[in-house]
């Protein structure tokens, strides 16, 4: 059962300006530990890709906060939600602290996607109730 849907559209230039104005502190404030490590790696290789990563994670947090219907209020906080990637590249959510307990108590699961193009990023989140939807596709199960 779908509990909520959230989306966020962000102009990368706005986030890049805030990042530069805060001399990078913005990333530490909004990214979880694992996200921050990935951000540093991407930023070190390519500034633009690093900024795209930061922007998509910001947008995912905003979209998630809308999907759970609380906005950016406890138990939701910037660092309590991380959007990470499976080896295939598929994004998934990881919770910590009070948000982890909140999601477990309610038996809610989030499904997230993010995209970036030129100067825009977008995130889309669906929160569902009950048994998580199996999202691993094994083509061997569908070959005749």
Q: Are 118 and 51 in contact (CB under 8 A)?
A: no
Which CATH fold topology does 2-142 show?
Ribosomal Protein L22; Chain A (3.90.470)
Phi, psi of 20 (to 5 degrees): -70, -40
The pTM of this model reads 0.87
pLDDT digits (tens, 9 = 90+) for 37-95: 999 999 999 999 999 999 999 999 999 999 999 888 888 889 999 999 999 999 999 99
pLDDT digits (tens, 9 = 90+) for 15-34: 999 999 999 999 999 999 99
Burial class (CB in 10 A: 0-12, 13-18, 19+), 24: middle
Number of helices followed by number of strands (H, E) in the chain:
5, 5
Strands 120-129 and 2-11: antiparallel
């Amino acid at each position: 059962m779908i509990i909520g849907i959230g989306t966020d559209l962000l102009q990368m230039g706005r986030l890049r300006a805030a990042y530069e104005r805060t001399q990078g502190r913005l990333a530490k404030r909004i990214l979880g530990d694992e996200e921050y490590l990935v951000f540093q790696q991407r930023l070190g290789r390519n500034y633009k890709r690093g900024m795209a990563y930061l922007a998509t994670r910001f947008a995912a947090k905003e979209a998630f906060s809308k999907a759970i219907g609380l906005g950016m209020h406890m138990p939701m906080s910037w660092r309590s939600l991380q959007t990470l990637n499976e080896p295939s590249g598929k994004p998934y959510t990881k919770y910590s602290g009070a948000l982890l307990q909140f999601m477990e108590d309610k038996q809610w699961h989030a499904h997230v996607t993010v995209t970036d193009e030129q100067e825009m990023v977008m995130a889309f989140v669906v929160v569902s109730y009950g048994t998580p939807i199996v999202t691993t596709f094994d083509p061997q199960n569908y070959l005749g």
